[in-house]
Chains A and B, each alone.
Chain A
Amino acid sequence: MTRRWWPRGLRIRLLVAFVLVAVTGAGAAAWSGARSASAALVTVTERRLTEAVAGQLNALTPQLTYPPNQAALDRLRAAVGTDTLVTYRALRSAAGDHTALVSDALRDAVRSRDRLSTQRISAGGVPWLLIGTPVMVTAPDGRQTRSGIEVYAVRDLAAVEQQVDGMTRSAARTAALALPLAVLLALSAAGSVLRPVRKLRDTARRLAAGDLDARSPPRGADELADLTVTINQMAGSLQESMAGMRRMQADARRFAADASHELRTPLSTLTAVVEVLASATDGMADDARESAELAITETHRLVRLVDDLMEVSRFDGGTAQLLMEEIDLADAVRDSLRARGWAGRVDLVAPPGTRLRVDRRRLDVIVANLVGNALRHGHPPVRVRITDRPALVSIEVTDRGPGLPGHVLPQVFERFYKHDAARSRTPGSGLGLAIARENARLHGGDLTAGNADGGGARFVLHLPREDT
């Protein structure tokens, strides 16, 4: 699941990073542009307004007589324009609706600094520029003294504010326009990075699935192309070593099969003649008879060993075939026991009428092996219990012996595994359990080894029921 979502995750991450960078960059550029433009605009406007007021005052100031009367103040005010307040001690001349906006702070600034001061305020949602200046009198020696006249002008900055707003909006628009462009760019960049990545992933998947011919054609000369070449090289060497291993395995299998096959011809002769020998032991000396008996026993053991080796070769070579027929399981197990003279030594617990499609010979091989082991290595009672379930039939073989030591359990099904010296003297080939399990698996079932609750070894054969 995680693996399937991985490329999408990378795509989204690339997309988000791209868009963030692009929009942040565009936004920052537009915003700082708008900021400096509006600052410049405000400064220019303020200077223009201030200069206008100062210019008009400068034009009128020389004509003033001191101390000024109300008429002089009115003239001065009219010259500066609307929304202007002119004061001289107790005299004041005001016009316009907004002269009340003149603040004490501005007045203080004008009085203390003897020169033109400005203040920007906001009133009723509208920005205003307050300009205040003392009117200075220039003496004939050029010294300027305060005349006591103060001029205050209130100027509306709403138009400037609108222009600044417009600039900010267009900056935001610019940044917004960058968004779809950034998405497109991000998608195409992600695609160009991810396409080869996805191809590599597909190749890796095919390799993992066993298709060792899978390769990705490298494109271009970037890091991904390097990676592709490396993966292809890896696949190549993997393929080579797999092929080598297969060859060796096949050689080994063929050797085992051929060797067993070749052994069978002399064994056929031996099998035939040891019986002649056995029937002729009557007149022999004791040592000769014992030798003949040994030859017979060992020949039969050799035959069993070669038979088992050939059976293993067939499993390894995948040529083992199932010969399925429907049988009564209890009958089949009973037959296996009876044929070996074990019927009286084994408890068979089986529900009647358990019918199953199996290979009778292979089932017999399994049962004979499990029960034979239990009788040889365990203690009585040896019990075979058949359990019939809807999807699965189990045949459990238990004994009351010492059971299997823990370290032996994982290895009991290994070929030629004999966990104690006593076992190596038993007539088995050492392949019995391995073959039994291969037979179980050939049926789509399994064979497991363990210990019973009350002690003793417990082997369970599971055979699936075919859907009919």
Chain B
Amino acid sequence: MATILLIEDDALVRRGLQLALRRHGHAVRTADTGEDGLRELRAAEPDLVVLDVMLPGIDGFEVCRRVRSVTQVPVIMLTARGDDFDVVEGLEAGADDYVVKPARPTVLDARIRAVLRRSTDPTEGVRVHRDLRIDTAALTVSRRGEPVPLTPTELRLLLTLSRTPGRVFSRQQLLEEVWEHRYLGDSRLVDNCVQRLRVKVEADPAAPEYVQTVRGFGYRFGPV
């Protein structure tokens, strides 16, 4: 049960998704434009935003960027299949995941639950890696004493990687563990999330210290 803000311009699609998501136990607030959606975001403080890319006025990407600039609330984009440009731009705008339209409510619900699932780390405690302090119980991260605001997905990625420093995770493994995409996930989700995470936790995102690329294989947590 979560409060979801659905931003979708087509009235019937909006109503259909609202009915279906309600059936899955979510409280659904709706908005038909990006501007309206951003107002609703402040008013309703939803747990998650489901955002259509094609919107009149400011488009879905811009809405996503503006959402990110004020809050770490998870965003799932609704995109057209195979429109890779949409996917890349959506992920760069800060979306946590995307679902191809026409979206099956069961698929959308599974993604929503995966994104909202709070990381439960079996080794609760505080991990310190050089300047980085990860509190796996409070689910907070700070660098040199400064709190680092992470989206739930970024936090899960960081926790997954840092649980076993030095271990190399393939993109597919990370997609399964972090996004719960059991099959054929889009590895660009991982790459984009890694980029955003680096910007937040690394001193120099171009020369990462904590989230390291292992060429041809995937990522690992450093320093090792």
Partner-B contacts on A (CB < 8 A): 261, 264-273, 275-276, 279, 303, 307, 310-311, 314, 320-321, 323, 325-326, 335-336, 338-339, 360-361, 364
Pick from B16, B19, B188: contact of A268, CB under 8 Å: B16
- Interface residues of B, Cβ cutoff 8 Å to A: 10, 12-13, 15-17, 19-20, 23, 80-82, 84, 101-106, 171, 182-184, 186-188, 216
Not counting A268-B102, A268-B103, A271-B104, a sample of 12 additional A-B residue pairs whose C-beta atoms are within 8 angstroms of each other reads: A265-B12, A268-B16, A269-B10, A269-B15, A272-B16, A272-B20, A273-B19, A275-B20, A276-B20, A303-B102, A311-B81, A364-B184
- In the complex, which residue of chain A has the Cβ closest to the Cβ of B184? A364
A314–B81 Cα distance when bound, in Å, is 11
**A360 to chain B: closest residue by CB:** B184
Q: Which A-B residue pairs are the 9 nearest by beta carbons?
A: A272-B16, A269-B16, A268-B102, A271-B102, A339-B183, A272-B20, A268-B13, A269-B12, A267-B102
Residues in B neighbouring A266, C-beta threshold 8 A: 12
Most buried by B among A272, A320, A321, A326: A272
A361 to B182, CA, bound (A): 14
Does the CB pair B19–A307 fall under 8 Å?
Answer: no
Q: If A264-B80, A303-B102 touch, does A273 touch B187 (CB 8 Å cutoff)?
A: no
CB atoms of A276 and B102 under 8 A apart: no
8 A–B contacts from the bound complex (CB under 8 Å): A268-B16, A269-B13, A269-B15, A276-B19, A276-B23, A310-B80, A311-B82, A326-B216
* Contact in complex: B81, A279 (CB < 8 Å): no
Q: Is B23 a contact of A275 with CB atoms below 8 Å?
A: yes
B10 touches A268 (CB 8 A): yes
Chain A contacts for B188, CB-based, 8 A: 323
Contact B16 A279 (CB under 8 A): no
| Contact A325–B12 (Cβ < 8 Å) | no
B106 touches A275 (CB 8 A): yes
Residue of A nearest to B84 (CB): A321
Chain A residue nearest to B100 (CB atoms) is A307
For B104, the chain A residues whose CB sits under 8 A away are 271, 275
Which B residues are CB-close (under 8 A) to A364?
A: 184
CB atoms of A272 and B13 under 8 A apart = yes
Find chain B residues with CB under 8 A from A307 CB. Answer: 81
Question: Contacts A325-B187, A361-B184, A364-B184 given: A264-B19 contact, CB under 8 Å?
Answer: no
Which of B17, B81, B171 has the most chain A CB atoms inside 10 A of its CB?
A: B81
Complexed CA–CA distance, A336 and B171 (Å): 17
Residue pair B23, A279 in contact (C-beta under 8 Å):
yes
**Which of chain B's residues have a CB closer than 8 A to the CB of A269?**
10, 12-13, 15-16
CB distance from A352 to the nearest CB of B (A): 16
Q: Which residues of A contact B106 (CB under 8 A)?
A: 275
B138 to chain A, nearest CB (A): 36
Residue of B101, B102, B182 ringed by the most chain A CB atoms within 10 A: B102
Q: Which residues of B contact A339 (CB under 8 A)?
A: 182-184
Task: Tell me the smallest distance from the CB of B171 to a CB of chain A, in Å.
Answer: 8
**A270/B102 contact (C-beta < 8 A), A265-B13, A361-B184 known:** yes
Residues of A within 8 A of B101 (CB): 264, 268
Given A273-B19, A325-B187, A265 contacting B82 (CB threshold 8 A): no
The answer to whether B103 touches A272 (Cβ under 8 A) is: yes
State in angstroms the CA–CA spacing of A364 and B103 once bound together. 20
A267: B residues at CB distance < 8 A:
102
Q: Tell me, in angstroms, the Cα distance from A364 to B20 when the chains sit together.
A: 29
Nearest B residue to A340 by beta-carbon distance?
Answer: B183
Question: Among the listed A265, A271, A273, A335, which residue makes an inter-chain contact with B10, where contact means beta carbons less than 8 Å apart?
Answer: A265
Report the separation of the CA atoms of residues A326 and B103 in the bound assembly, to the nearest whole angstrom.
29
CA distance A310 to B105 in the complex (A): 21
B49 CB to nearest A CB, Å: 17
With a CB–CB cut-off of 8 A, which chain A residues contact B105?
271-272, 275-276
> What CA separation (Å) do A268 and B79 show in the bound complex?
11
Decide if B184 touches A272 in the complex (CB within 8 Å): no
Judge whether A272 and B17 touch: CB under 8 Å: yes
Minimal Cβ-Cβ distance residue in B for A306: B102
| Contact of A271 (CB < 8 Å), options: B23, B103, B171, B184 | B103
Chain A residues whose C-beta falls within 8 Å of the C-beta of B103 in the assembled complex: 268, 271-272
Q: How far is the CA of A364 from the CA of B81 in the complex (A)?
A: 15
Question: Please, which residues of chain A bring their CB within 8 A of the CB of B15?
Answer: 269
Closest-by-CB residue of B relative to A325 is B187
Partner of B184, one of A265, A311, A321, A335: A335
Contact A335 B183 (CB under 8 A): yes
Q: Which residues of B contact A338 (CB under 8 A)?
A: 183
Complex Cα distance, B187 from A271, in Å, reads: 26
The contact of B81 among A310, A323, A326, by CB within 8 Å, is A310
Bound complex: CA A162 to CA B15 (Å): 122
- Nearest-CB distance from A261 to chain B (Å)? 8
CB distance from B129 to the nearest CB of A (A): 29
A300 closest partner in B (C-beta):
B104
Chain A residues with CB below 8 A from B182, complex form: 339
Instruction: Report the minimal beta-carbon distance from A364 to chain B, rounded to whole angstroms.
Output: 6
- CB A77 to nearest CB in B, in angstroms, measures 125
Contact B102 A264 (CB under 8 A): yes
Identify which of B10, B82, B183 contacts A314 (C-beta below 8 A). B82
Q: Are A273 and B16 in contact (CB under 8 A)?
A: yes
Q: Nearest Cβ distance between residue A358 and chain B, in whole angstroms?
A: 12
